[in-house]
């Protein structure tokens, strides 16, 4: 039976009648919602979904919101799990991996982080040096990862490591699901310009990962990682916003409420930024329509590029609009935040935090290359490492 909006609405209302939000314990409610296929409706039946079009998720969320239902640990808490780990597990995972990881991930029982970047492999991720060596039914992993958001709170991580140094760098990588609570995992904070330490460096010292936690085939980790990275860029740059949502709404509110701050020059700049923000929002809507038909592709790189640039320009405008007030920032102490909601913070904080937007999720320079080569079809940049074994590359 095909599932349409009326059917999804009927199921959501029936679920709410059977599990009243005001009397059902939060975790029990979320588990039952997952089992009813109302977690992410475009996922398969039995894995939190109904095999329905992705767009029908809006119908579910409207019914849940109207009923005052508890939300899951959403993107602000478990963004890496929901936006990156889950779609990758769904596409490449074994039946056991899907059953084991997707339900507690969606319900927020297990938080996830991403162990990809390294001190010597950031923009050139395929140069990574973290090694995984097979020992019986396990892999022994040793290396260092960096810029790991939320590692201090994470239960599991998506991890790529080198399993064959004798082949070209893109070919000798394997993808794993790593338990962050096992022996050999050490997490250290990295203090940022904001004073916070939401990022971390992670040291892996002979960490044992069972082969059952390998995602995809041995040596196919780069292909699997592309699914993760494409979803990451969409998650960062393509989140659904109402008109005048996000950064632009904050400065527009200040403009309306504080007429004494206005100047003709600031007015013209605000109009320009507002138009750009609306154009990017509509481009995001178009991208989400494309996602209904399949997996995200390189177009997400363009969305993430636009998001990073606009977030930095608008946050800088917000500081300038408010003058001396815009420089105020109430907490410079190092904290280990459980969630990052910088839209709820001061203009000074938003300005500083937005500097990271052009690095996280792929640097803007790398994303420009992706757009040029894979979206526009321009000639690729010359490469000297094609066909060269990773062990023979200069580092």
Give the bridge partners for 388, in sequence order.
none
d(Cα 297, Cα 53) in Å, to the nearest integer? 18
Q: Where are the alpha helices (DSSP H) in 238-326?
A: 247-257, 264-291, 299-322
Work out whether the CA dihedral 206, 160, 235, 73 comes out positive or negative.
negative
According to DSSP, residue 289 is labeled H
d(Cα 266, Cα 388) in Å, to the nearest integer? 53
CA atoms within 13 A on the CB side of 251: 31
Work out whether the CA dihedral 110, 116, 118, 123 comes out positive or negative.
negative
Catalytic positions are: 232
Burial class (CB in 10 A: 0-12, 13-18, 19+), 11: buried
d(Cα 395, Cα 392) in Å, to the nearest integer? 9
CB 364 within 8 A of CB 313: no
DSSP codes joined into one string, 104-147: HHHTTSS-EEEE--BTTBSSSGGG---EEEEETTEEEEEEEEES
d(Cα 171, Cα 168) in Å, to the nearest integer? 5
């Amino acid at each position: 039976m095909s599932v349409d909006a009326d059917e999804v609405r009927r199921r959501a209302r029936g679920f709410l009648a059977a599990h009243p939000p005001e009397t059902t314990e939060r975790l029990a409610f979320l588990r039952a919602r997952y089992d009813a296929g109302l977690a992410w409706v475009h996922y398969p039946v039995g894995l939190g979904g109904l095999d329905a079009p992705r767009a029908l998720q809006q119908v579910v969320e409207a019914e849940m919101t109207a009923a005052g239902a508890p939300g899951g640990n959403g993107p602000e808490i478990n963004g890496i799990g929901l936006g990156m780990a889950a779609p990758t597990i769904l596409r490449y995972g074994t039946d056991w991996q899907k059953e084991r990881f997707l339900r507690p991930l969606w319900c927020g029982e297990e938080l996830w982080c991403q162990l990809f970047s390294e001190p010597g492999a950031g923009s050139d991720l395929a140069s990574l040096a973290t090694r995984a060596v097979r020992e019986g039914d396990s892999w022994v992993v040793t290396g260092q990862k960096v810029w790991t958001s939320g590692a201090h709170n994470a239960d599991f991580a998506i991890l790529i490591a080198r399993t064959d140094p004798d082949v070209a760098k893109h070919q000798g990588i394997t993808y794993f699901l790593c338990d962050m609570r096992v022996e050999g995992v050490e997490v250290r904070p990295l203090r940022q310009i904001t004073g916070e330490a939401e990022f971390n460096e992670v040291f892996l010292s002979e960490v044992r990962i069972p082969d059952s936690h390998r995602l995809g085939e041995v040596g196919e980790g780069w292909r699997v990682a592309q699914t993760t990275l494409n979803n990451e860029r969409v998650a960062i740059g393509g989140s659904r916003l109402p008109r005048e949502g996000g950064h632009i709404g904050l400065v527009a509110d200040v403009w309306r409420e504080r007429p004494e701050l206005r100047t003709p020059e600031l007015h013209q700049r605000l109009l320009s930024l507002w138009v750009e923000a609306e154009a990017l929002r509509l481009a995001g809507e178009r991208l989400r329509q494309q996602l209904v038909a399949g997996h995200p592709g390189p177009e997400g790189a363009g969305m993430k590029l636009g998001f990073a640039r606009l977030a930095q320009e608008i946050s800088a405008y917000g500081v300038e609009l408010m003058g001396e007030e815009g420089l105020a920032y109430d907490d410079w102490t190092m904290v280990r935040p459980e969630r990052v909601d910088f839209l709820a913070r001061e203009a000074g904080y938003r300005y500083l935090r937005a500097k990271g937007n052009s690095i996280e999720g792929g640097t803007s320079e790398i994303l420009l290359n992706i757009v040029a080569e894979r979206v526009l079809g321009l000639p690729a940049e010359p490469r000297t490492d094609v066909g060269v074994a990773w062990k023979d590359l200069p580092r």
